[in-house]
Amino acid sequence: MKDDNCIFCLIANGQIPSNTVYEDGDFRVILDISPAAKGHMLILPKEHYANIFELPEETAKKVLPLAKKLAAAVKEAMNADGVNIVQNNGTAAGQTVPHFHLHIIPRKEGDNAMPLWTPGESVPEEQAQIAEKISKLMK
Ligand code: AMP
Ligand code: ZN
């Protein structure tokens, strides 16, 4: 399903022009319009899925192999030292466009292109409880 009010549906399906890096039957890969670093790309499914929770498993299975190829290509193209793969779900997690997308961001040593999280504290008993709670939901 496509959503005519969704900018990424319109871009992914070629109704709005973009700097396209790659396209197949399932995805369009574009350059981000406000890149964290030169070569910052977005993998967009052509169908509308708001986030990872809505993404069908068969589409999900294709995303990481594509990201792997793009990461290698952009590393070479931009002479990068590293690559971040980022994917936000929900406004609390920083998602601003509610159409699933994966960011691929080439990085140079010391470029400060992306803030990393602040490492927190962990309490052993709490860690064990959290692990058990999540683990139960995986069954
Ligand atoms: P997120 O915060 O994970 O939802 O990321 C949304 C990304 O989409 C941001 O990095 C924006 O710069 C990018 N973006 C928004 N509109 C466009 C557009 N028209 N073309 C390309 N990238 C866009
Ligand atoms: Zn969409």
Question: 12-41 pLDDT, tens per residue?
Answer: 999 999 999 999 999 999 999 999 999 999
Among 40, 48, 99, 101, the one annotated catalytic: 101
What residues have their beta carbon closer than 5 A to ion ligand 2?
Answer: 3, 6, 8-9, 48, 99
Helix (H, G, I), strand (E, B) or coil at 61: helix
Q: Is the dihedral of CA 89, 109, 115, 130 positive or negative?
A: positive
Ligand 1 contact via 94 beta carbon (within 6 Å): yes
How far the first Cα of the chain sits from its last, in Å, is 30
Kindly report the pTM of this predicted structure: 0.97
Residue 101: active-site member: yes
Q: Looking at ligand 1, which atom is closest to the CA of residue 7?
A: 19
pLDDT 10s digits, 44-66? 999 999 999 999 999 999 999 99
User: What is the C-alpha to C-alpha distance for residues 106 and 114, in angstroms, rounded to an integer?
Assistant: 10
Structure tokens at 27: 């995805």
Contact 31, 19 (CB under 8 A): yes
Kindly give the distance from the C-alpha atom of residue 108 to the centroid of ligand 2, in angstroms, as a whole number.
Answer: 31
